[in-house]
């Protein structure tokens, strides 16, 4: 698990290879990632947008941007945690992702970019 803290918001990521949904012979590798967002700041925030950079070890880079996360724009009071699971497919057995969330402080409307720590996605047999 990797974590980072920006503006009092902690983002942690854990990945898992999904062998049942992958097909290495067709260069199709599926990973899930569990994101935990913890609001350790003094302010209520709302997650508005996400921005991802996805790097495949074959040299492909993809960019994904959109509203919220898995269809939600959660509001987190101080001390609250939001967790979700999403997924990514790669054309190679190794890749990485990083990005940012755009959140808004509810008290004054100030928008903040919260860093998502870079994390790797590696098929387990590559680690041996």
Residues 6 or more apart whose Cβ sits within 8 Å of residue 52: 62, 63, 64, 65, 97, 98, 99, 116
Identify the pLDDT of residue 128.
58
Considering the domain boundaries, does residue 67 fall inside one? yes
Considering the domain boundaries, does residue 114 fall inside one? yes
Considering the domain boundaries, does residue 76 fall inside one? yes
**By C-alpha distance, which of 115, 97, 124 is closest to 3?**
115
DSSP state of 68: S
Considering the domain boundaries, does residue 128 fall inside one? no
Considering the domain boundaries, does residue 30 fall inside one? yes
Range of the structural domain that residue 57 is part of: 2-122
pLDDT-derived band at 127 (thresholds 50, 70, 90) equals: low
**By C-alpha distance, which of 47, 40, 52, 50 is closest to 80?**
40
Considering the domain boundaries, does residue 127 fall inside one? no
**By C-alpha distance, which of 2, 8, 4 is closest to 120?**
2
Q: Does the pLDDT of residue 126 top 90, yes or no?
A: no
Angle CA(19)–CA(119)–CA(42) in degrees, nearest 5? 125
- How many CB atoms neighbour CB 92 within 10 A? 16
Identify the three-state secondary structure at position 109. coil
- Structurally, the chain folds into a number of domains equal to 1
67: domain CATH number is 2.60.40.1470
Return mean pLDDT, the chain. 96
Q: What is the mean pLDDT of residues 15-29?
A: 96
Residue-wise pLDDT for 53-100, tens only, equals 999 999 999 999 999 999 999 999 999 999 999 999 999 999 999 999
């Amino acid at each position: 698990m990797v974590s980072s803290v920006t503006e009092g918001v902690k983002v942690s990521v854990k990945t898992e290879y999904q062998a049942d949904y992958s097909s290495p012979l067709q260069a199709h590798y599926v990973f899930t990632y569990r994101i935990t967002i913890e609001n350790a700041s003094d302010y209520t925030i709302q997650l508005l947008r996400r921005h991802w950079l996805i790097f495949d070890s074959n040299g492909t880079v993809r960019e994904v941007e959109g509203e919220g996360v898995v269809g939600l724009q959660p509001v987190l009071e101080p001390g609250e945690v939001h967790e979700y699971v999403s997924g990514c497919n790669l054309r190679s057995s190794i890749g990485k992702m990083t990005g940012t969330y755009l959140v808004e402080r509810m008290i004054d409307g100030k928008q903040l970019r919260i860093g998502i720590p870079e994390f790797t996605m590696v098929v387990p047999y590559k680690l041996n």
